[in-house]
Amino acid sequence: MKYLSVIVAVLAIALAGWLMLRDTSPESQPAEAVQPAAVIEPMEAAEPPADDDDAQSAESVMVEESAGDIEEPEEDKPIILAQADSANLDRDWQFTEGTHFTRMVPTQPTVGGADKIEVAEFFWYGCNHCFDFEPYINRWAEDLPANVRFVRIPALWNPLVKIHGQIYYTEEVLANNGKLADREGFRNAVFLEIHRRGNRLASDTAIYEVFQRFGVSEEDFQNTWNSFEVAQKMRVAEDLARRYGIASVPILAVNGKYKTTAGEAGSYPNLLSVIDELVEREETVR
């Protein structure tokens, strides 16, 4: 019995040791304890962190594009008009826009081409002020600079004014065709008929009598008076007066950009001084 008790005790100790070893074995650990490592490692391998050099390179490209949009070099910008305005602003001009003359915006067409600076007088034969201004503008036009072209544009507001405009373009066409030799004398005669003799020149008969005094035949007068060429010139004059906003006469315009009157300038001599300055302004931007 003594030996049997010893054997039972030894077996009990051995069983207890075996159970302890079984509990500490790796195979006996729960599966959940090792699963996180197996899932995390593939995700980390699939998305490696960006290299520092690559990040800096991408940032540099973005900065250059932004700087290119904002810091455009001055020489690449279309600043021709700004330079022209600056040239005028730098000059100590005698006359002031808004006081002595008005700028037309936008710039309007002219009668002639862009080869010269055009000065245009809008007038009416029946206007007392135009009659008074005639000697001044004639003297000014006698000595035009080579870069200046002077044209007259008749007003065409109502039937009588249109008839007087037709007189002007008939005399122009006849003079250009060699049928009217003394155009200056004829224009002065028309002014005198209206303002000194009280002849309104409201009929073809009264008008032809003036042309006849200057050697124009009735046939040449009739053919020109009713011609397409005169009618076309009148349409152009009417369009220009509308574009320039002509509501009174005399008005002088320079290159379709500026217009002025004796009222703005202060006097007829001063008006021509304003015109000379505006011509000079235009010359600085050509």
Instruction: Kindly state whether residue 157 falls inside one of the protein's structural domains.
Output: yes
Instruction: Kindly state whether residue 107 falls inside one of the protein's structural domains.
Output: yes
The whole-number pLDDT of residue 16 equals 58
Q: Which domain holds residue 239?
A: 95-284
Q: Does the pLDDT value for residue 240 go beyond 50?
A: yes
Q: Does the pLDDT value for residue 123 go beyond 50?
A: yes
Q: How many CA atoms lie within 13 A of 144 on its CB side?
A: 16
**Residue 73 — very low, low, confident or very high, per pLDDT cuts 50/70/90?**
very low
Q: How many Å is the Cα radius of gyration of the chain?
A: 48
Instruction: Kindly state whether residue 198 falls inside one of the protein's structural domains.
Output: yes
CA geometry: angle at 231 spanning 227 and 237, to 5°? 145
pLDDT per residue over 134-179, tens digit each? Answer: 999 999 999 999 999 999 999 999 999 999 999 999 999 999 999 9
| Number of helices and strands in the chain (H, E) | 12, 5
CATH assignment of the domain containing 132: 3.40.30.10
Instruction: Kindly state whether residue 121 falls inside one of the protein's structural domains.
Output: yes
Kindly list the strands in the beta sheet with 148-154, ordered across the sheet, starting from the edge strand earlier in the chain. Answer: 102-103, 258-260, 251-254, 117-123, 148-154
Contact predicate 272/136, CB 8 Å:
yes
- Which residue's entry shows tokens 């044209």? 151
CA geometry: angle at 140 spanning 139 and 142, to 5°? 65
The C-alpha atoms of residue 172 and residue 212 are separated, in whole angstroms, by 15
Q: How many CA atoms lie within 13 A of 112 on its CB side?
A: 15
Total tally of structural domains belonging to the chain: 1
Instruction: Kindly state whether residue 280 falls inside one of the protein's structural domains.
Output: yes
Contact predicate 162/196, CB 8 Å:
no
Nearest to 235 by CA among 179, 138, 160, 154: 154
Model pTM score: 0.69
Instruction: Kindly state whether residue 140 falls inside one of the protein's structural domains.
Output: yes
Phi, psi of 59 (to 5 degrees): -65, -35
The C-alpha atoms of residue 213 and residue 189 are separated, in whole angstroms, by 10
pLDDT per residue over 10-67, tens digit each? Answer: 566 666 555 555 554 444 444 444 343 333 333 443 344 444 544 444 443 333 333 3
Instruction: Kindly state whether residue 35 falls inside one of the protein's structural domains.
Output: no
Please indicate whether residue 131 or residue 1 has the higher confidence score (pLDDT).
131
Measured in whole angstroms, the distance separating CA 205 from the mean position of its chain's CA atoms is 48
Q: Which two tokens stand for residue 12?
A: 């009990």
Instruction: Kindly state whether residue 4 falls inside one of the protein's structural domains.
Output: no
Q: Which two tokens stand for residue 121?
A: 């007088």
